[in-house]
C-alpha cells in the first residue's frame, strides 16, 4: 500500500492491521517515533494525521491510505515544529528524551489549532506521559514558541 | 531516515583493544603523569583503547584531539537524561581550556580507567586517586556504572585533572616547537599562545606530539572563582538530537535484513518457562522465524518485525514451574511483612539511649507517645523506553547496542551468555530512554547475548513489550515500618524508633550481578538509608530491620531505600510535631541546631515558600531528607477543590549539593525527582494476584501528567562544599511533603501509599 509520510509517497507491503508505528520504525527505519505502551496511553508514538494528533501504536496502517502523515522527521523550516524545537532547546526541556518526539507532535498541532493557548488548553492537548517529569519546561517552551510564532505572524502582516 | 552505517562493525576482528597505547610496565612507578598518553597519577597502570573516539591523538583515556581541532571526550557514564555527558565534559573542558561548543562526547568501551570508584567504594578519597590496593583490584575488575547519584562525586577531581594534564602536555609540546620555556606559554580556547612572541598553535596541530610528553607533577587545578564552564548553566550536549528524532536509543539501531525477538517470561513470579504448548502454530504466524527457549527460562520469539514478534509471543502458550509460592497475593506478602515489623529485628543499626525502655513503659506526665505502622507498595520503574537490546554475533565477534547503566555489567553478561571472549565484544551504549536503576540489571544484556547466539550472522533487536517490562521488573520493594516515638511536654522529640520489614535490594541486586559480592541481608548497608543516616539530633533513637524473603525480584529504584524510608521518617516526624503542638518546620529545625547547612536549607525554604502564610483553602506540608551526599527539603502547597479533591499548586525545593557543575541540570533533576516521587505517591502500585503482577501498562500504572503537575520552584544553595548527587535526592521528600500537607488540610494521616487507594484525587 502507499502511504504519504512527510510529503513523500512510500510503498509498504504489510498487513493492514499493522499499527503505523511499526511500519515507521521497523519497515521504514524512521526511528524518531517511539514505542512506549502499545495501547495509546503514553503518547510517545504520536504523529499528526490530516491535522489530528494520533497515537500511531494503535492506528492500523490500512486506514491511512491517501492521508497526510507527519512525524518528528518532517522539516518545516520556520514552521510551527521548528519554532517549537528551538524553544525546546532554549528551555532545555528533554531529559532522557524518549517521550519528546511525541510531545513535540502534540505541541505542534496544539499551536496550529490554538495559536495562543492558555494553561487549560495545554493541559487538554498535552496528555502524553513524561517519566522524567519535564512538564514544567514543556509548558514554558510552548508559551515561548507561541509568542515567537505570533511575532513572526505580525512581522509578516506588517510587510 | 535512520539507516546507520555498518562500516565500523566489519573491522571488529581487527581490534587491538589493549594495544592502542599499551604501556604495561608502569605499575609501582608512583608519580607518572601522562606517560605515553596514558592517564595521570594513579591511573597509569590502567589501559584503554580509544575505540570509538575517531581521528586524532589521545592525550589520556578521556581526551582525543583531531588535527582539525575536533575534541572528543570519553564519558563512560550512561546518559539517561540526568545530564552526565554534559557535566563530565564541563569538568574536562574547564581545565583543558577549550570552547565548550567545540567538544563532543562518546561512551567508550568497558576499560579500567573509567571505573566509578566512588560507586564501588563509597569513599570520596578513592574517587580520584583510586590507587593503593583497592585501586589495583578495581583496575582488574572495574565497576563502570552509572548509579547511586555518584557520577559527579566520582568525577569532580579526576575529570578536571584529566583536562589539566592534557593542557599541560599541549603546552609542553608547543614550548618545544618554539624552543621556549613552557612557563612563557599559556593555553586559551583551544590554542597554546607564546606570550612573548604572540604566536599561536592550535591543539589540533599539537596533539600528535603532545601525547608523548610526561609531566613530573600534577598541575594545580583552578580555584572556583576562575571557573568559566563549571558551575554555569551551559546547554546540554544531548538535547539538539532529542528534539528532532535523531537521538539514538537502544531500539533505534537499524540495519537491512535485521530480525526482531520479542521476550516472553513465565506468567507466575518466580516461575521459569520449561516448554511450549503451541510452538507449531506460532511458527505459522506472519513473519515469525523461530521460537527459542533460553537457559534462563525465558522465551524468544523471532520475527521480521517487532510487532509481529510481540503478537506471536503473546499467543505462545508455555509450560512453567519453579516458584516457591506460586499462587500468592499481595495480602500474603504484606501480612508477612507486618508480622516481621512486629518481631525482633535481624539487624539494629542505631541504638542510642534507651528507646525501648522509654517507648515500652508508660509515658510520663505531659509526654505523648505515638505508634504507627506505615506501608508502601512494590513499584515498577516503568522507563518510557521498555527494556531492549540489539546485537549481532558473527565470526566469533559480538557487537551490541543498548542503553545500559553499566557497560562493565553488560560486557560480563554478554560474555557469559554468548561465550564470546570479552576482547571480541564491542558495546555501543546508546542514550537510555529512562534508567532509574532498571537499566543496570543484568537480565537484558544476558538475554541479548543468548538471542544473538541463537541467530548468528543476523542483527537481532530484542524487545520487551510494555506488559513484559512491567510484569518482569526488579521492583522497588514493598515495605512495612513500625514507628514509635515520644515527645516531651515542652514539645521536643525524646525518643524515636523504627523497625522496617522489607526484602533486601542490595543482597538481591548485587547477587544478580556478582553473586560473591552479595551481602547477607543483615549486612546490607543501604536497607535503612533514610532512617539511619539523617542529621536530626534525637536523644533516644533506635533503627532496625527484619528481612522478608520471597520470589519477587527487587532492585535499585531511583533513590532506593530513601524512597520508602524517607516517607516513613518524614511522615512520622510530622506526626510527632503535631502531637507536640509545634510547627513542623520549627520542630525539625530544633533538632538541627548544630547543623548549619541544614538550617540554611530550611531557612531558605521557609522564605521561598512563604511558609505558614497561606490563604484559607491552601495548605502546606514539609519534608527533609539527606540522601546521596546532598540535602533536599521541599514544601508541597495544595489547594482544596472538593472533599478529597486537591490541586497540587506548588512545590518549593531547596537543595544543598555543595559545589555544582550545571545548575540548570540540578533544577531539572529536582523537578524530575518530585514528579517521579509524586507519581508513586499518588498512583504507583504493583500488586500480586494468584502469583502474577496485576498491573501491566500505563492504564493501570499511572503517572503524573501535565494537568496535575505542580509548578516546581527550585533553589540551589551556594557554598564551597564537596559536590553531592542530584539524580536521586529530589525523590525522597516528595511523597511525605504531599501527605503532610494533606494532613493539614484534612486531619487524615496517610500511612499507606498510593493515595489513589484512599480515594484522593488530584486535578
Find out whether B165 and B133 touch, Cβ atoms under 8 Å: no
Tell me the mean pLDDT per 10 residues along chain B, length 763. 41 30 27 35 58 92 95 97 98 97 95 86 71 57 90 94 94 97 97 98 97 86 97 98 98 97 98 98 98 98 98 98 90 97 96 88 87 98 98 98 97 98 97 98 98 98 98 98 96 97 96 88 94 97 96 97 98 98 98 98 98 95 98 98 97 98 98 98 98 98 98 98 98 98 98 97 97
| Closest-CA residue of chain A to B242 | A97
Find out whether B209 and A63 touch, Cβ atoms under 8 Å: no
Tell me phi and psi for residue B402, to 5 degrees: -165, 155
Query: How far from chain centre, in Å, is Cα B98?
Result: 29
Q: Give residue B123's pLDDT.
A: 82
**Which of B384, B464, B708 best probes binding to A when mutated, by most A CB atoms within 10 angstroms?**
B384
| Residue with the three cell numbers 498487513 | A15
Residue B544: CB atoms within 10 A of its CB come to 22
The 10s digit of each residue's pLDDT in B174-201 is 999 999 999 999 999 999 999 999 999 9
CB atoms A98 and B675 under 8 Å: no
The 10s digit of each residue's pLDDT in B340-363 is 999 999 999 999 999 988 877 778
Contacts of A33 in chain B (CB under 8 A): 245
What residue segments make up the domains of chain A, in order of their start? 2-70, 80-158
CB atoms A37 and B385 under 8 Å: no
Closest CA to B78 of B153, B146, B9: B146
Beta-carbon contacts of residue B348 (< 8 Å; ≥ 6 apart): B542, B543, B544
| Closest-CA residue of chain B to A28 | B1
Q: How far apart are CA B439 and CA B426, in angstroms?
A: 18
Q: Give residue B134's pLDDT.
A: 56
Beta-carbon contacts of residue B286 (< 8 Å; ≥ 6 apart): A15, B303, B308
Query: E strands within B233-298?
Result: 259-264, 272-276, 288-293
Residue B193: CB atoms within 10 A of its CB come to 18
| Closest-CA residue of chain B to A57 | B307
CB atoms A25 and B251 under 8 Å: yes
B60 class by beta-carbon count within 10 Å (0-12 exposed, 13-18 middle, 19+ buried): buried
Q: What angle do CA B246, B409, B81 make, to 5 degrees?
A: 35
Contacts of A139 in chain B (CB under 8 A): 706
CB atoms B243 and A85 under 8 Å: yes
Residue B722: CB atoms within 10 A of its CB come to 13
| Closest-CA residue of chain B to A100 | B243
First to last CA, chain B: 40
Contacts of B706 in chain A (CB under 8 A): 122-123, 126-128, 135, 138-139
CA A155 to each of CA A78, A86, A159, B726: distance values in angstroms, whole numbers, following the listed order: 13, 19, 6, 43
Find out whether B744 and B666 touch, Cβ atoms under 8 Å: no
| Closest-CA residue of chain B to A133 | B672
CA atoms within 13 A on the CB side of B669: 31
Strands B318-321 and B272-276: antiparallel
Find out whether B584 and B577 touch, Cβ atoms under 8 Å: yes
Closest CA to B260 of B316, B299, B305, B313: B305
Closest CA to B206 of B129, B96, B356, B101: B96
What is the three-state SS of B184-242? HEEEECCEEEECCCCCEEEHHHHHHHHCCCCECCCCCCCCHHHCCCCCCCCCCCCHHHH
β-pair partners for B63: B60, B73
**Which of B240, B254, B289, B307 best probes binding to A when mutated, by most A CB atoms within 10 angstroms?**
B307
| Closest-CA residue of chain A to B255 | A29
What is the three-state SS of A45-114? CEEEECCEEEEHHHCEHHHHCCCEEECCCCCCCCCHHHHHHHHHHHCCCCCCCCCHHHHHHHHHHHHHHC
B9 vs A19, residue with greater confidence: A19
Q: Give residue A157's pLDDT.
A: 59
3-state secondary structure of B446: helix
CB atoms A96 and B431 under 8 Å: yes
β-pair partners for B640: B646
CA B191 to each of CA B13, B93, B187, B205, B221: distance values in angstroms, whole numbers, following the listed order: 37, 13, 6, 9, 19
Tell me phi and psi for residue B15, to 5 degrees: -55, 140
CA atoms within 13 A on the CB side of A66: 0
The alpha-carbon gap from A154 to the nearest alpha carbon of chain B, in Å, equals: 26
Q: How far apart are CA B575 and CA A61, in angstroms?
A: 56
Cα-Cα-Cα-Cα dihedral sign, residues A151, A152, A155, A157: negative
| Closest-CA residue of chain A to B251 | A31
Q: Which three cell numbers stand for residue A120?
A: 487549560
**Which of A135, A141, A142 best probes binding to B when mutated, by most B CB atoms within 10 angstroms?**
A135
Question: Residue length, chain B?
Answer: 763
Contacts of A134 in chain B (CB under 8 A): 668, 671-672
Find out whether B458 and B335 touch, Cβ atoms under 8 Å: no
CB atoms A72 and B286 under 8 Å: no
Contacts of A73 in chain B (CB under 8 A): 1, 244-245
Who among B83, B254, B384 is closest to A29 (CB)?
A: B254
Who among B434, B463, B711 is closest to A132 (CB)?
A: B434
Q: Give residue B117's pLDDT.
A: 84
CB atoms A131 and B384 under 8 Å: yes
Question: Residue length, chain A?
Answer: 159
CATH number (1.10.3720.10, 3.40.50.920, 1.10.150.120, 1.20.1630.10) of A80-158 reads 1.10.150.120
Q: Which three cell numbers stand for residue A20?
A: 503505523
Give the number of beta-carbon pairs within 8 Å between A and B.
187
Tell me phi and psi for residue A76, to 5 degrees: -140, 70
Q: Give residue B359's pLDDT.
A: 79
Contacts of B242 in chain A (CB under 8 A): 94, 97, 100
CB atoms A42 and B246 under 8 Å: no
Q: Of the ranges A62-71, A149-158, B109-118, B585-594, which one carries the lowest mean pLDDT score? A: A149-158
Tell me phi and psi for residue A46, to 5 degrees: -60, 135
Find out whether B445 and B387 touch, Cβ atoms under 8 Å: no
The alpha-carbon gap from B279 to the nearest alpha carbon of chain A, in Å, equals: 22
The alpha-carbon gap from A159 to the nearest alpha carbon of chain B, in Å, equals: 31
Who among A14, A36, A139 is closest to B384 (CB)?
A: A36
First to last CA, chain A: 44
Who among B235, B675, B705 is closest to A127 (CB)?
A: B705
B101 class by beta-carbon count within 10 Å (0-12 exposed, 13-18 middle, 19+ buried): exposed
The secondary structure of chain A in percent helix, strand, coil, rounded to multiples of 5, reads 45, 15, 40
- Would B250-323+387-463 and B330-379+475-762 be classified into the same CATH topology? yes
Find out whether B21 and B47 touch, Cβ atoms under 8 Å: yes
Cα-Cα-Cα-Cα dihedral sign, residues B290, B291, B294, B296: positive
- Per CATH, which fold does A2-70 belong to? Ubiquitin-like (UB roll) (3.10.20)
Q: How far apart are CA A42 and CA B469, in angstroms?
A: 15
Q: Give residue B268's pLDDT.
A: 97
| Residue with the three cell numbers 539517561 | B80
CB atoms A29 and B81 under 8 Å: no
What residue segments make up the domains of chain B, in order of their start? 7-227, 250-323+387-463, 330-379+475-762
Judge whether residue A158 has pLDDT over 70.
no
Who among A89, A98, A135 is closest to B709 (CB)?
A: A135
Q: Give CATH for domain B250-323+387-463.
A: 3.30.365.10
Q: How far apart are CA B523 and CA B347, in angstroms?
A: 8
The alpha-carbon gap from A4 to the nearest alpha carbon of chain B, in Å, equals: 15
| CA torsion angle B88 B93 B94 B99 (round to 10) | -130
Contacts of A31 in chain B (CB under 8 A): 2, 245, 248-249, 251-252, 254
Closest CA to B355 of B491, B493, B535, B527: B493
Contacts of B436 in chain A (CB under 8 A): 131
CB atoms B384 and A98 under 8 Å: yes
CA A9 to each of CA A20, A21, B246, B489: distance values in angstroms, whole numbers, following the listed order: 15, 17, 21, 79
Contacts of B312 in chain A (CB under 8 A): none
- Per CATH, which fold does B7-227 belong to? Aldehyde Oxidoreductase; domain 4 (3.30.365)
Contacts of A104 in chain B (CB under 8 A): 243
Closest CA to B565 of B633, B655, B625: B625
Contacts of A29 in chain B (CB under 8 A): 1-3, 254
| Closest-CA residue of chain A to B436 | A132
CB atoms B245 and A32 under 8 Å: yes
CB atoms B382 and A71 under 8 Å: no
Query: How far from chain centre, in Å, is Cα B450?
Result: 26
Q: How far apart are CA B229 and CA A27, in angstroms?
A: 43
β-pair partners for A60: A19
Q: Is CATH 3.30.365.10 the right assignment for the domain spanning B330-379+475-762?
A: yes
The alpha-carbon gap from A155 to the nearest alpha carbon of chain B, in Å, equals: 26
| Residue with the three cell numbers 500511531 | A56
CB atoms A134 and B672 under 8 Å: yes
Who among A22, A94, A131 is closest to B703 (CB)?
A: A131
Find out whether B527 and B538 touch, Cβ atoms under 8 Å: no
Amino acid at each position: 500500500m502507499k502511504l504519504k509520510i512527510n510529503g513523500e509517497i512510500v510503498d509498504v507491503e504489510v498487513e493492514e492491521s499493522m499499527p503505523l508505528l511499526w511500519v515507521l520504525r521497523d519497515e521504514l527505519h524512521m526511528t524518531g517515533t517511539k514505542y512506549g505502551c502499545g495501547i495509546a496511553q503514553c503518547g510517545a508514538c504520536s504523529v499528526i494525521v490530516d491535522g489530528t494528533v494520533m497515537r500511531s501504536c494503535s492506528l492500523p496502517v490500512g486506514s491511512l491510505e491517501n492521508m497526510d502523515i507527519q512525524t518528528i522527521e518532517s522539516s518545516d523550516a520556520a514552521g510551527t515544529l521548528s519554532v517549537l524545537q528551538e524553544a525546546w532547546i532554549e528551555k532545555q526541556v528533554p531529559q532522557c528524551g524518549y517521550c519528546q518526539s511525541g510531545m513535540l507532535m502534540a505541541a505542534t498541532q496544539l499551536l496550529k489549532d490554538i495559536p495562543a493557548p492558555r494553561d487549560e488548553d495545554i493541559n487538554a492537548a498535552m496528555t502524553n506521559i513524561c517519566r522524567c517529569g519535564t512538564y514544567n519546561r514543556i509548558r514554558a517552551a510552548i508559551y515561548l514558541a507561541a509568542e515567537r510564532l505570533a511575532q513572526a505572524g505580525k512581522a509578516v502582516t506588517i510587510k | 531516515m535512520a539507516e546507520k552505517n555498518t562500516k565500523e562493525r566489519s573491522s571488529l576482528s581487527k581490534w587491538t583493544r589493549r594495544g592502542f597505547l599499551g604501556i604495561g610496565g608502569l605499575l609501582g612507578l608512583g608519580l607518572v603523569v601522562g606517560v605515553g598518553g596514558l592517564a595521570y597519577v594513579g591511573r597509569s597502570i590502567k589501559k584503554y583503547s580509544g575505540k570509538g573516539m575517531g581521528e586524532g591523538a589521545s592525550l589520556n583515556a578521556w581526551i582525543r584531539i583531531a588535527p582539525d581541532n575536533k575534541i572528543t571526550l570519553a564519558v563512560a557514564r550512561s546518559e539517561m537524561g540526568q545530564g552526565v555527558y554534559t557535566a563530565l565534559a564541563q569538568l574536562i573542558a574547564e581545565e583543558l581550556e577549550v570552547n565548550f561548543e567545540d567538544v563532543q562526547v562518546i561512551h567508550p568501551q568497558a576499560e579500567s580507567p573509567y571505573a566509578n570508584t566512588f560507586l564501588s567504594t563509597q569513599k570520596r578519597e578513592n574517587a580520584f586517586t583510586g590507587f593503593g590496593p583497592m585501586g589495583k583490584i578495581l583496575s582488574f575488575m572495574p565497576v563502570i556504572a552509572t548509579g547511586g547519584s555518584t557520577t559527579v562525586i566520582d568525577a569532580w577531581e579526576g575529570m578536571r585533572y584529566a583536562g589539566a594534564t592534557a593542557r599541560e602536555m599541549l603546552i609542553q609540546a608547543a614550548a618545544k616547537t618554539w624552543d621556549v620555556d613552557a612557563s612563557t606559554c599559556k593555553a586559551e580556547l583551544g590554542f597554546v599562545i607564546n606570550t612573548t612572541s604572540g604566536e599561536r598553535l592550535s591543539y589540533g596541530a599539537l596533539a600528535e606530539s603532545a601525547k608523548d610528553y610526561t609531566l613530573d607533577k600534577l598541575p594545580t587545578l583552578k580555584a572556583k572563582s576562575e571557573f568559566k564552564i563549571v558551575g554555569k548553566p551551559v546547554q546540554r550536549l544531548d538535547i539538539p538530537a532529542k528534539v528532532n528524532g535523531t537521538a539514538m536509543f537502544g531500539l533505534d539501531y537499524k540495519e537491512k535484513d535485521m530480525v526482531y525477538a520479542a521476550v516472553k517470561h513465565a506468567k507466575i513470579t518466580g516461575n521459569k518457562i520449561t516448554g511450549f504448548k503451541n510452538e507449531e502454530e506460532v511458527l505459522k504466524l506472519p513473519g515469525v522465524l523461530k521460537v527459542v527457549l533460553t537457559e534462563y527460562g525465558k522465551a524468544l520469539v523471532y520475527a521480521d518485525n517487532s510487532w509481529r514478534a510481540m503478537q506471536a509471543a503473546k499467543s505462545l502458550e508455555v509450560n512453567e514451574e519453579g516458584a516457591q509460592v506460586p499462587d500468592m497475593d499481595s495480602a500474603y506478602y504484606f501480612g508477612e511483612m507486618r508480622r516481621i515489623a512486629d518481631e525482633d529485628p535481624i539487624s539494629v543499626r542505631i541504638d542510642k539511649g534507651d528507646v525501648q525502655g522509654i517507648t515500652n513503659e508508660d509515658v510520663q506526665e505531659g509526654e505523648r507517645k505515638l505508634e504507627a505502622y506505615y506501608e508502601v507498595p512494590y513499584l515498577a520503574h516503568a522507563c518510557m523506553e521498555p527494556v531492549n537490546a540489539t546485537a549481532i554475533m558473527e565470526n566469533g565477534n559480538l557487537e551490541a547496542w543498548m542503553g545500559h547503566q553499566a557497560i562493565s555489567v553488560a560486557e560480563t553478561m554478554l560474555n557469559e551468555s554468548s561465550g564470546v571472549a570479552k576482547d571480541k565484544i564491542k558495546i555501543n551504549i546508546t542514550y537510555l530512554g529512562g534508567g532509574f536503576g532498571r537499566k543496570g540489571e543484568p537480565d537484558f544484556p544476558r538475554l541479548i547475548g543468548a538471542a544473538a547466539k541463537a541467530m548468528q550472522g543476523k542483527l537481532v533487536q530484542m524487545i520487551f513489550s510494555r506488559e513484559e517490562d512491567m510484569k518482569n521488573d526488579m521492583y522497588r520493594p514493598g515495605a512495612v515500618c513500625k514507628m514509635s516515638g515520644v515527645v516531651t511536654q515542652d514539645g521536643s522529640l525524646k525518643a524515636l524508633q523504627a523497625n522496617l520489614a522489607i526484602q533486601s535490594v542490595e543482597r538481591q541486586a548485587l547477587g544478580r550481578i556478582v553473586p560473591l559480592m552479595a551481602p547477607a541481608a543483615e549486612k546490607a548497608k543501604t536497607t535503612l538509608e533514610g532512617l539511619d543516616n539523617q542529621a536530626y539530633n534525637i536523644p533516644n533513637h533506635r533503627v532496625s530491620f527484619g528481612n522478608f524473603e520471597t520470589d519477587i525480584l527487587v532492585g535499585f529504584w531511583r533513590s532506593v531505600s530513601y524512597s520508602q524510608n524517607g516517607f516513613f521518617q518524614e511522615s512520622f516526624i510530622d506526626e510527632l510535631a503535631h502531637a507536640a503542638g509545634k510547627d513542623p518546620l520549627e520542630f525539625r529545625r530544633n533538632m538541627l541546631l548544630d547543623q548549619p547547612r541544614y538550617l540554611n536549607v530550611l531557612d531558605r525554604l521557609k522564605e521561598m515558600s512563604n511558609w505558614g502564610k497561606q490563604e484559607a483553602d491552601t495548605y502546606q506540608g514539609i519534608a527533609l531528607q539527606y540522601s546521596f551526599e546532598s540535602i533536599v527539603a521541599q514544601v508541597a502547597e495544595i489547594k482544596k477543590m472538593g472533599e478529597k479533591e486537591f490541586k497540587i499548586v506548588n512545590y518549593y525545593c531547596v537543595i544543598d549539593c555543595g559545589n555544582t557543575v550545571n545548575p540548570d541540570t540540578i533544577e531539572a533533576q529536582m523537578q524530575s525527582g518530585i514528579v517521579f516521587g509524586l507519581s508513586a505517591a499518588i498512583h504507583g502500585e504493583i500488586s500480586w494476584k494468584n502469583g502474577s503482577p496485576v498491573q501491566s501498562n500505563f492504564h493501570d500504572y499511572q503517572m503524573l501528567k501535565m494537568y496535575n503537575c505542580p509548578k516546581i520552584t527550585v533553589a540551589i544553595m551556594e557554598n564551597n562544599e564537596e559536590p553531592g548527587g542530584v539524580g536521586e535526592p529530589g525523590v525522597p521528600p516528595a511523597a511525605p511533603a504531599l501527605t503532610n500537607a494533606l494532613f493539614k488540610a484534612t486531619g487524615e494521616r496517610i500511612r499507606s501509599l498510593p493515595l489513589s487507594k484512599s480515594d484522593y484525587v488530584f486535578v
